[in-house]
Structure 1
Amino acid sequence: MAKRLEQLREEYKNVPIPKELDSIVEKALQHRPKKKRIIMWPTAAAVAAAVLFTAIVNINPCAAQAMSKIPVIGKVVQAITFVEIKEEKDQSSIHVKTPALSGLSNHELENSINQKYLKESKQLYQEFMKATSKKNKEKWHLNVYSNYETVTDTPDLISIHRVIQLYGNTQSRYITIDKKNESLLTLKSLFKDDRYIKVISQNIKEQMKKQMKEDPDKTYWFTDEDIAPFKKIHADQNFYITEHHKLVISFDKYEVAPGYMGVTKFEIPTSVISNLLVGNRYIR
């Protein structure tokens, strides 16, 4: 674990920090607040992970809390809460948990995923700092939120879901990893060819129609009368695989429905796609 945390530290150092944060980090290193609002869990690994982000969150006496804990979510692959940032400023707020994978022998895959998570969190923090900056003449209240959870954890698979809320929009991001082969699964990799796009899209439209018929409070955009109707899924559409080996397709808020519908998901019947699958190891 110590070696992996050290590698994460190196990857973190190599990720470019937004220019706006450069001076903040420098000041934080030179003038540490007398009263830090950083909570470190009493384990060596957790402390090592938490200190990596200290310079960014220790920007002033009202700085956010940063914490790190390491819950085990699988026998081999672990999810680390790399850092948790919480701050309120000028009626704006930010609460962001940055996840990191640990335990993969495929270090290239692990590092690339962790770099992505770190960059996302830095971008969110930068948006928050921009909204609350004294130089910002156009003041607005911004609530930034990001969290993650493990939606699937089996001997073969792990699927991690990260949700990001920014400017009233909600985005869901999933990664699904084959634990035994230590490879990242893509939607395209599950199928023999691109026929899955049309087949899955048609099934989703049928589900939309059925849901709207059964529940008048549900609305989806898929007819020609709609301004931006859903036509088909993207080749790399957001997805995950359940512990029962079912494929679930996910759409962000506003992507295929009005905002009040939030993030929408559709479980695809295996019978609809069985003849298109490369095999039945993941979906059956």
Structure 2
Amino acid sequence: MEDKLNNIKREYKNIIIPKELDQMVDKTIQKADKDVRNPKIRFGRGLKVAVAALAVCSMFVLAINTNESLAKSIANVPVLGKVAEVLTFVDYERETDTITENVTIPEVDGLNDKDIQDKINKEIQAKMDEQIKEAEIRAEEYKEAYFATGGTEENYNPIEFKLDYEKKYSDDSILSFIIYHHETLAPAYAETYYYNIDLNTNEELTLEDVLGEDYINRANESVRKQIEELKANPSEDRHYGFFEGEAGFTSISEDQGFYINSDKKVVVVFNKYEIADGATGPLEFVIE
């Protein structure tokens, strides 16, 4: 145990803290110090302590999320293991004469069952490798078709392909994140994968797990209500062109995409063109 803590200490000391973070912390502490001296603002001496603690916490979170070896070291310490249940990742950029790839592939770390963890990570890697390969094939075909139909070299642009992930929610019991990719060739090739993991059982959560046995009716009722509200009160900032009848929303699907948001609520997601026109884009509904 002591050796592990010493290793973590060494890892932490070797982390290069961005200058921007130092400046932000200094400004925050200076402001707090000024506010404490201001007779119109009576926060008490505890404020400076709180600000300092917040700065330390921010640096610790930054360290975990930017240093993979530190995150893994913390995950191996029983007392600190839960803090380290974060996503680690590798990323790269690659350019050829047909495609520009900007790829970030996540990896799940910290599950109690390493076999399941490896299975999830291998599944993620396999899916993403497949998407990258298919995008490269499309890019080659596009280039051939472009020049075959009279396209010129000066007007030709390689396809841009982006693959990334976003962590939606994480605590000591749930890890929720999405992986998405899109490319400039056509919106139809955009796709999102949803991962919601129960950290107690190391299994993927289903909508029934989080919403209960009546999850279909509960989700449908909530989505319908929100759609009607959006129709009745059109937004000036966003277009909503919902399809009507069978082409529109009828029910969530068996493999409905969803994630857990920062309020620990279920958010169901519909892809572009799924229940509304292309100008509407993807749609998300929080299930109350």
Distance 1:116 1:253 in 2: 25
Secondary structure, counterpart of 2:269 in structure 1 = strand
- Listed one character per residue, the Cα deviations across residues 152-181 of structure 1 (whole Å, up to 9, x for unaligned) are 122222211212214324333221122233
Paired residue for 2:104?
97
Normalised by the size of structure 1, how large is the TM-score? Answer: 0.61
Paired residue for 2:127?
120
Mark the CA change 1:148 to 1:135 in structure 2 (over 3 Å): closer, same or farther. Answer: closer
Paired residue for 1:173?
193
RMSD (Å), alpha carbons: 3.0
1:2-41 to structure 2, matched below 5 A, reads none
Mark the CA change 1:133 to 1:180 in structure 2 (over 3 Å): closer, same or farther. Answer: same
Unpaired segments ≥5 residues, structure 1: 1-41, 44-67, 270-284
Mark the CA change 1:128 to 1:200 in structure 2 (over 3 Å): closer, same or farther. Answer: closer
Paired residue for 2:83?
75
Structure 2 residue 285 is the aligned partner of structure 1 residue 241: no
- Listed one character per residue, the Cα deviations across residues 33-77 of structure 1 (whole Å, up to 9, x for unaligned) are xxxxxxxxx99xxxxxxxxxxxxxxxxxxxxxxxx9638596142
Mark the CA change 1:132 to 1:199 in structure 2 (over 3 Å): closer, same or farther. Answer: closer
What's the offset of the Cα at 1:135? 11
1:22-61 to structure 2, matched below 5 A, reads none
Paired residue for 1:152?
169
What's the offset of the Cα at 1:113? 1.5
Secondary structure, counterpart of 1:137 in structure 2 = helix
Distance 1:223 1:134 in 2: 36
Give the one of 102, 106, 110 matched to 2:113.
106
Distance 2:222 2:279 in 1: 23
Name the % identity: 21
Q: Which amino acid aligns with 1:107?
A: K
Q: Which amino acid aligns with 1:186?
A: T
Structure 1 runs (4+) deviating above 6 angstroms are none
> Is this contact kept in 2: 1:109–1:184, CA < 8 A?
no
Distance 2:196 2:239 in 1: 29
- Higher Cα radius of gyration: 2
Mark the CA change 1:236 to 1:124 in structure 2 (over 3 Å): closer, same or farther. Answer: closer
Distance 1:104 1:232 in 2: 34
> Is this contact kept in 2: 1:172–1:263, CA < 8 A?
no
Give the one of 130, 135, 150 matched to 2:137.
130
> Is this contact kept in 2: 1:96–1:121, CA < 8 A?
no
Secondary structure, counterpart of 1:93 in structure 2 = strand
What's the offset of the Cα at 1:111? 1.8
Distance 2:160 2:67 in 1: 24
Distance 2:106 2:215 in 1: 31
- Listed one character per residue, the Cα deviations across residues 231-259 of structure 1 (whole Å, up to 9, x for unaligned) are 11012311122342311111122222222
Structure 2 residue 282 is the aligned partner of structure 1 residue 230: no
Paired residue for 2:228?
209
Give the one of 159, 184, 209 matched to 1:142.
159
> Is this contact kept in 2: 1:188–1:235, CA < 8 A?
no
Secondary structure, counterpart of 1:121 in structure 2 = helix
What's the offset of the Cα at 1:108? 2.8
